[in-house]
Amino acid sequence: MVVGTCRLELRIPDSSSLKEKRQVLRSIKDRVQNRFNVSIAEVGYLEEWQRATLAVACVSNEAKMVDEVLNKVVDYIEGHGSALLMDYVIDVVVHGDGFA
């Protein structure tokens, strides 16, 4: 089993309230989840209007596939015009008989 996680730091410059921020993040999360079949959640800067941290998780039996999916998620979010990708970190961990 291979587990991959990705932490994304976002800036939402046009947001002037938590409600606006949540609308932008909800759109991003729904699109990413539907397109890539991954788990995604807001995990940081919950009370700040213009910053957010999203976490994405992907599980597979091949490390290459997990890495590809998470990199596609990063590219997709970076191309989403309403939030600026400031930084990201991808971690892939192989458990047991996963193929590296």
* Residue spans of alpha helices (H) in the chain: 18-36, 63-79
Confidence (pLDDT) at 98: 47
Q: pLDDT tens digits for 18-35?
A: 999 999 999 999 999 999
Among 9-13, 27-31, 81-85, whose mean pLDDT is lowest?
81-85
Average pLDDT over every residue of 43-50: 95
Measure the CA–CA gap between 95 and 30, rounded to whole angstroms.
29
Measure the CA–CA gap between 12 and 15, rounded to whole angstroms.
6
Domains of the chain: 2-94 (3.30.70.1120)
Sequence-distant (6+) residues with CB within 8 A of 18 are 47, 49
Residue 2 burial class via C-beta count within 10 angstroms: exposed 0-12, middle 13-18, buried 19 and up: buried
Backbone CA torsion sign across 34, 4, 89, 18 = positive
Confidence (pLDDT) at 92: 96
In this prediction the pTM is 0.90
More confident call, 95 vs 30: 30
Residue 95 binned pLDDT confidence (cut-offs 50, 70, 90): confident
